Structure 1
């Protein structure tokens, strides 16, 4: 008991020492509960929620009735239980039918959004959907269709009711076990089918509703008319959130130079806009002594900036990233209006709490993770400089030092998330941001505000022209940096515990007060070691059996040089391999007969790629793995993956330590177990190309 009493007293004292600095840990506890929901093996049942409710209630009562340092643990337990409940409730509230088969036929719906696919095709998102021979109660709430062929050059307005003939399929699961789950992503967007069309799109009814979206598209079209090409596409993305006018080449250059964040209306844009409006209003009111001496100029300027930010949110379409940016901006401006410190860890924590309560699934998004990683790190670092009374240099040099330090800290904080999520590292990203971000703040955003102010009198072109000058410089920087030798590096996907360990260590370093924060170095160092030792599966099998990837000394060898390009790209990215599909296919050993054969880890992999190969193969043995996109009946006790089995397993990974499946029927989640039935399967595949 003496040891327990000692540790109890030490813990009590440690937590008492943090009193007044514990609120930033509230979203961490809430996020833990949300994370438990998404990591749970299978959909939690009523018993799980009942236990969480009981533990959360007990923790909350302990926090209220037993004041002291350890009471914070009770509050944390309550927040964890709340997070689990919020995530489960959100998943059930957004539930909508999901197409359970491949469909080819008429598709009718209302256009609510436009964007571009990975292959640079224009995509339409439709609601109020109708499908032939599919009951309304089983029709997806939303579908997304990529336009190819005769439909590729048409750009509809939101609100139009259109009809076409399209290939549709349910959203696919992970391309490999443990990978990004598009089914889950689509579930929370109420997206029940994706696909493509190659025939013209017909308008069946004029625009109804979606007036704000149509207004956005009209502004975007006007911007592109004044600034043609990628320049106009970039300007439209910055002003309205419509990125459909940016070419794939330019988008890739922005990614390779670590400037792609300038396309998304995020915290940077919202902060620059509200900061510019705040400064302009405050300076303008200060020039009028009669007003400056009688009115709370600072509060009025903050209120005006908040109105401008709300207008920007509405104009941009209110995407998740923009909502997140608005909440953070609103918290900062609200603090100014009540004479509190605007940029503090408390403000960041409050913004995170609001966002996680509204959209618990955002915890899994790279945008959320990177935004709060950068903001938390910046406030922690500059707060430490302020508390330590450390100077950034002479007054004439301090602004430059501040920009360099801000870019370095934000880049360092977001690098692990970006590298883990996208498997690339921009070696010259800091240089590109130092050259581009100041232009965005000093020229592009003010010019956009000027264009908006001059638009009612027909002079928006002046502001857009000035905006174009700044964007032309940013694009030149992006292409110049992206073309440098070795501009990007490729990293292997880390194991499942790497990012959580990084986050835990970084949070302790940023949020804990005193020397105890150095404990955070341990988890960060362990995460680095685990990442350095990450191993990839020896064999990967696509969910439809159309592609096999085998690890060799030269890297991943793919069984086909064409087809399943999306899956092939994800596999190679996760391997940290910069090769394309044809180059990876060239690593595959020479074909033996009509089969594609390779050997790895003591296994002989046979990929059946057509009817001729299927007819040739009649038997197999225990040391063989047979993969086929066609149904097979084989003699022997080999490991066999054909369409019948792959429908149950999804994508498969094989390694020396076992086999992993991306779909487990015994552990179905809401997004993996939903579907509709009752119509014949179409002959053509549906892909969101």
Structure 2
């Protein structure tokens, strides 16, 4: 009873400070939905709906201090229901086989792939003679080779290779199928043949027309500012990265300046802040206006209009939508005479984003933006109440920039390391040299260019903008070329990031000395973040690549082919080498038959048809992987395309073989074709003899 009394007293002491926990509870429910290995049936949703109503009723009972717990439980259940509802709402047909043939569709988006190829997203798709009920709503194809000029809204035709969105490249890894499901992408692929335009872009106003305007603006910007500076200018103003080379992107990532590319909180905040301050100063300079209206509220309304325009011109991607919600909440607070920047405002923005797009919880963009924002608001809120130190006014902006960069960098570093497996050792100085230039030169120049565009004088402001962007690219190049500029980090176990988030949120949101208890889960998470959990053997879903962990790092069975899979494996290992270097680690050179002994098992990879044709071994202690179907007699563990189709990618660790199909489970975005249905033994198996008649 004494423990219950203390818990009740602790909750009562948090009265007035509990609202920021609302999105946390909602996020827990969303996370529980995505963490399942089966798709919930409707009785579960009915039961959870009843639980929401019951808990909301319980929250009004005369139980001091326990009402917030009931509301928190209701939010957890609501988050689960919300995520499930969203997953069913976006359901569209997904291609369930590999396809080669004619493809037709309307271009709705253009960007570049990781291999720097032009990539087109199409809707209103026609795929050969595939009936409408099985036809994907959207597909994405990479254009290899010379491409004719293409504009959004045009209807095109080509011959392409298509396949279903790929599953995790290793068990427990990033599931692109799930990501594609929420983007309504039913197939991905590539084309190497010419593209034919069969219909021009239709007139009218809509998403495609706005995309066409964006691309036209992007082209105009790149005309005034050629080269990589123009590509970066287009990315900052319209979100179009198609004009940037891979070397520039790599340099920005290595220097921790890649966040300047994403039109997110920084860009939206700088732009709306510039508009707000400019309008407020301009209106205040006119006494007749300043005395008759609330200049602050008018400036806030103008900033919100600017945010809407920027949202439309930037493509309205998830990061930009999230930033728009955050600044709208901030300026909305100004309009109703509330504090513009507070943890409550951050919580409202997070609630709106999670309600609209529950799946964004899993994205690094959501995690990093709200981690940085929460940390900045919490720390500067604490400093605002700490007035014992007097700082000269001229020094405050300098300290503000230093603190902002350090706090945001510290808050987002674990998330970036976990998702991208890299750490920029000189990211802080790079940001200190670049972010002020973005705020003082680049963003104001972009706003002025937009105002001058109707009279064809935007080139004046764009050239000033180019000076700032040239400086940022110079900083990026200089920092990325420093010795040890970029470090590589092994991927953590799945529970590490949630544990860090729990501790950090406890530090930021809980009131009183007990908040320091949040340090414990953070410390535990970092202690458990070690390279020892990485699998000893990884096998690609195609059977075309095997990776075995050695004392020198992971050895790959092929120096080419399955390049994307190889890159992800090495990144997750925290290994900075490329596929060719990793292939040189393989201890034996046996032509097309690659062998490796791990503990008491011999791993044999047959890398092609010739190797498979003459192979007839099948012993108890062998694991045989082949990209070609085999029919062997013996007691080996055989993984050929027939079996890999059911299991997906594989990992072998501590004598246990795990399949990506078992880790993912039967979800809406899992393969539905009969050939992909898992047998019980394929879901989660130990290495044991597999007989083939």
Deviation at 1:666, TM superposition (A): 9.6
In 2, Cα distance between the equivalents of 1:577 and 1:408?
A: 27
Q: 1:393 touches 1:401 (CA, 8 Å); kept in 2?
A: no
1:513–1:534 CA distance, 2 compared to 1 (3 A): farther
In 2, Cα distance between the equivalents of 1:378 and 1:650?
A: 42
Q: 1:110 touches 1:162 (CA, 8 Å); kept in 2?
A: yes
State how 1:518-597 maps to structure 2 within 5 Å. 518-532=516-530, 534-592=532-590, 594-597=592-595
Deviates most, 505-514 or 615-624? 615-624
2:106 corresponds in structure 1 to 110
Q: Secondary structure at the match of 2:533?
A: coil
In 2, Cα distance between the equivalents of 1:402 and 1:212?
A: 37
State how 1:250-261 maps to structure 2 within 5 Å. 250-261=248-259
1:260–1:74 CA distance, 2 compared to 1 (3 A): same
1:380–1:436 CA distance, 2 compared to 1 (3 A): same
1:127 corresponds in structure 2 to 123
2:69 corresponds in structure 1 to 73
2:236 corresponds in structure 1 to 238
Q: Secondary structure at the match of 1:397?
A: helix
2:333 corresponds in structure 1 to 335
State how 1:102-501 maps to structure 2 within 5 Å. 102-151=98-147, 154-208=148-202, 210-389=208-387, 391=389, 393-501=391-499
1:680 corresponds in structure 2 to none
Q: Secondary structure at the match of 1:617?
A: coil
1:645 corresponds in structure 2 to 643
2:687 corresponds in structure 1 to none
Count of aligned pairs:
671
Q: Could you state the TM-score of these two structures normalised by the residue count of structure 2? A: 0.95
In 2, Cα distance between the equivalents of 1:312 and 1:104?
A: 39
Deviation at 1:534, TM superposition (A): 4.2
Question: Which residue among 28, 37, 51 is the counterpart of 1:41?
Answer: 37
State how 1:52-91 maps to structure 2 within 5 Å. 52-91=48-87
Q: 1:537 touches 1:655 (CA, 8 Å); kept in 2?
A: yes
In 2, Cα distance between the equivalents of 1:15 and 1:658?
A: 45
Q: Could you state the TM-score of these two structures normalised by the residue count of structure 1? A: 0.96
Unpaired runs of at least 5, structure 1:
678-689
In 2, Cα distance between the equivalents of 1:66 and 1:601?
A: 63
In 2, Cα distance between the equivalents of 1:68 and 1:218?
A: 60
Give RMSD over aligned pairs.
1.4
In 2, Cα distance between the equivalents of 1:295 and 1:676?
A: 68
1:49–1:390 CA distance, 2 compared to 1 (3 A): farther
Q: 1:21 aligned to 2:17?
A: yes
In 1, Cα distance between the equivalents of 2:646 and 2:602?
A: 23
Q: 2:570 touches 2:577 (CA, 8 Å); kept in 1?
A: yes
In 2, Cα distance between the equivalents of 1:396 and 1:519?
A: 37
Q: Show CA shifts across 1:189-236 (max 9, x none).
A: 000011111111111011025211111110000001111111111111
In 1, Cα distance between the equivalents of 2:19 and 2:252?
A: 37
Deviation at 1:617, TM superposition (A): 1.9
In 1, Cα distance between the equivalents of 2:345 and 2:674?
A: 44
In 2, Cα distance between the equivalents of 1:615 and 1:435?
A: 60
Q: 1:662 aligned to 2:656?
A: no
Q: 1:551 touches 1:600 (CA, 8 Å); kept in 2?
A: no
Q: 1:174 touches 1:651 (CA, 8 Å); kept in 2?
A: yes
In 2, Cα distance between the equivalents of 1:501 and 1:348?
A: 21
In 2, Cα distance between the equivalents of 1:247 and 1:676?
A: 42
Q: Show CA shifts across 1:516-541 (max 9, x none).
A: 10110110000000003642100000
Q: 1:513 aligned to 2:515?
A: no
Q: Show CA shifts across 1:384-404 (max 9, x none).
A: 111222547322211111100
Deviation at 1:556, TM superposition (A): 0.1
Q: Secondary structure at the match of 1:69?
A: coil
1:684 corresponds in structure 2 to none
Q: 1:251 touches 1:260 (CA, 8 Å); kept in 2?
A: yes
Deviation at 1:150, TM superposition (A): 3.5
Q: 1:540 touches 1:653 (CA, 8 Å); kept in 2?
A: yes
In 2, Cα distance between the equivalents of 1:418 and 1:310?
A: 29
In 2, Cα distance between the equivalents of 1:12 and 1:665?
A: 39
Q: 2:594 touches 2:605 (CA, 8 Å); kept in 1?
A: yes
Q: Show CA shifts across 1:99-153 (max 9, x none).
A: 11111111100000001001000100000000111001211000001011233xx
Deviates most, 658-667 or 349-358? 658-667
Q: Secondary structure at the match of 2:146?
A: helix
Q: Show CA shifts across 1:440-482 (max 9, x none).
A: 0000000000100000000000010010000000000001100
